[in-house]
Each structure stands twice: as C-alpha cells, then as structure tokens.
Amino acid sequence: MSLLFSKTTLGSLTLQNRLVMAPMTRSRAPGNIPNALMVQYYEQRASAGLIITEGTSPSPNGLGYARIPGIFSAAQLAEWKKIADAVHAKGAKIFVQLMHCGRIGHPLNLPAGARLVAPSAVTAAGEMYTDAEGMKPHPAPQAMTEADIKATIEEFVQAAKNAIAAGCDGIELHGANGYLLEQFIRPNSNQRTDRYGGPIENRTRFVLEVAEALIKAIGKDKVGIRLSPFGVFNDMPAYEAMTADYSYLAEQLNALGLVYIHIVDHSAMGAPPVPDSIKTMFRSVFKGTLILSGGYDAARAESDLAVGKCDLVAVGRPFLANPDLIARWQSGAEVNAPDFNTFYTPGPKGYTDYPALN
C-alpha cells in the first residue's frame, strides 16, 4: 500500500495524496499579472495533493525578477481566483508562495516607484536577468528603515488575505534561497545594529513577526514556510552557527504553530549537501507537517515517507516536465525530461506543451 499516493491531512485540509508540486518561478506573467496560460499550467498539474505556486510578490518592491506574478492588485487577484478554481476542480489544494526578492532584483524588473530593499545595504554577488538589457549586476539595495519593515509586514498581511480572498487554501512564506526573509536570517546580508540584527534572536525577528502577523490575519492552518538551511543560493555563504541558528528558528516556528515547514535541498542541482542531521532536527523540534524536497523520485519519496522522515514530499523539475506526474509515477511509466532552456521564457513552449500519457 503506497503512502505517497494515499490521502492525508494538512491542518484542516484533506490532500488527495502526499505529493506536493514544489514552488517554481516560470516567468510567464507579463506585467506581473497571472493569465489564462498560467491557469492551464496549474490545472494540468492538479493531480498533486498540494500545489505550491511559483514565488509571488506581496508588493511592488518584492518583484525582483522579470515577469513574476504579484498578489497585491485587484487585477492580479482576479486571475489568482481563476487559478484556484481550476486547481480545486481537479482535486488539488493550493498555497501561494509569497516571495519578496529583497536585494535579489533589478530596477529594470521593478514597476515605477518600487525600490530594491534589504535588511542592510549589502550588494549580492552575481547578476540578474532583465528583459530590457539582459544580464546586469545586482545593484546595491537600500537598507530598510523600521518604517519600511512595518510597511513590509503589512504588505505580507494584505497579500495573504488576498490569497485567501482569491480562494487559495493558504500561503507559503518564502524564507529560503536568499530572498528577503533569508536575507534577514543570515549574518552576511544582515548587518543591522538595531533589534533586527546581531544575535539570532534579532535576525529571526522579521520572519517571526511576519509569520505571527499572517497567522493572526488568516489562521495558523493556512500559513507554512520554506527554509533552506545550508543553502548558498543568491550569495548566502555557509557560516559557523548555521545549525544553532536554524534550531532556534525551528523552536520559534513550532511555538507559533505554523501548519508546515518545507525544507529545500538543492544538492541534486549541484549545491552543497544539506546534512541529514538538520532535517532530523526539524523533524524532532517541529510538531506540524514537515515537507522535504530535492531530487526525489517515486521510490525515494515512498521510502522517506515510510520511515517517517517527513509527512509530504515536494517535487520540482519532474512536475514541471510531467503534467500527469502522479499517473506516471503510479504506473511506472517513462517521464519527460525537463527542458532547461524554457524554464523562464515567455509563452507556452516548455510550459503547457509537455505531453501527458494519453
């Protein structure tokens, strides 16, 4: 009897199976507004238990990448509603990943009046793609004032309320992969000397305040978080106190009672390994649902569920390339390989045209 393909619960929700579609930025939202093509893409993949959407900005300031969607305007909300309806009609649940890019962005990708903000004015190494001028070095971000921090928390709250108003089942805070929340957690990007910087109690203050405000706004069963301990993406070097820092964060998130924690592991994509011990730590400290991700196939997903390493397994690239991944994994059929060249290009090619079995 397969655990992977059997029903389970997530907070007050029933999931049709334990396979989660991992959040994947696809840059198919010109003008930062979702559209019919995105409705079709998510609907095609709605045999998952849970779909976590691509990184979606809670505010104009958070739109670091070209053509990523937001969830702060009425026009965006109306389209998210269509996505939620289409996904629900096929039986999946849907959480919107709230991604504020912080210093990972470029003014050429931002709407008029928006600003590149971060905990400190520390420029990220590396480059950002822009539609207007191609690759550009990351510019220096502006250090957020206390007023900026307050306003940003309010933006997250409104975005979460919008997701629920659009009919989505919850939100995932993107606390991973070098974006704003992780920029606060990590000492290289957070060099503040106020109560949001310095010791880990201070560096986690922003993420915990956001999480708490969201719980208050939409309920703890509707708020999850993604974290990438030992992740180095977007200029986030490893450092001595990583395990201790994330153990503290795990305890605090457990106390808040979020519905899930979702751990990133990009070692299958060439990133440094994420020690098993940190996943075990999250498993023992956090009493809610634990989602693991990174390089899973059906056999490994089944065995990690069987030994109780996690409650749900999230899968990225296989879902990207196989709209009917569940049916394929269930029947042992061949899977389509992902086409890296069309991960972030506009239009249906490499997006909605991956063939299903029948």
Ligand X SMILES: Cc1cc2nc3c(=O)[nH]c(=O)nc-3n(C[C@H](O)[C@H](O)[C@H](O)COP(=O)(O)O)c2cc1C
What are the residues binding ligand X (CB under 6 A)?
22-25, 54-55, 97, 99, 174, 176-177, 226, 264, 266, 268-269, 293-296, 315-318, 343
Nearer to ligand X by C-beta: 29 or 176? Answer: 176
- The strand pair at 134-137 and 127-130 is best described as antiparallel
Nearer to ligand X by C-beta: 229 or 316? Answer: 316
Contact of 350 with 336, CB cutoff 8 Å: no
Residue nearest to ligand X (CB): 316
Nearer to ligand X by C-beta: 75 or 269? Answer: 269
Q: How far apart are CA 206 and CA 187, in angstroms?
A: 14
Q: Cβ of residue 314: shortest distance to ligand X, in angstroms?
A: 7
Q: Cβ of residue 176: shortest distance to ligand X, in angstroms?
A: 5
State whether residue 163 is helix, strand or coil: helix
Q: Read off the tokens for 88.
A: 């629900």
3-state helix, strand, coil in the chain (%, to 5): 35, 15, 45
179 is catalytic: yes
Nearer to ligand X by C-beta: 130 or 202? Answer: 130
Q: Which of 41, 42, 65, 179 is catalytic?
A: 179
Type of residue found at 51: I
Q: Cβ of residue 294: shortest distance to ligand X, in angstroms?
A: 5
DSSP state of 59: S
Q: Cβ of residue 201: shortest distance to ligand X, in angstroms?
A: 25
The whole-angstrom distance between residue 140's C-alpha and the CA centroid of its chain comes to 24
Query: Could you give the C-alpha distances from 340 to 309, 320, 325, 344, in angstroms and in order?
Result: 30, 10, 18, 9
DSSP state of 271: P
Q: Cβ of residue 173: shortest distance to ligand X, in angstroms?
A: 10
Q: How far apart are CA 135 and CA 269, in angstroms?
A: 22
Question: First and final CA of the chain: distance in angstroms?
Answer: 25
Nearer to ligand X by C-beta: 192 or 266? Answer: 266
Catalogue the active-site residues. Answer: 179
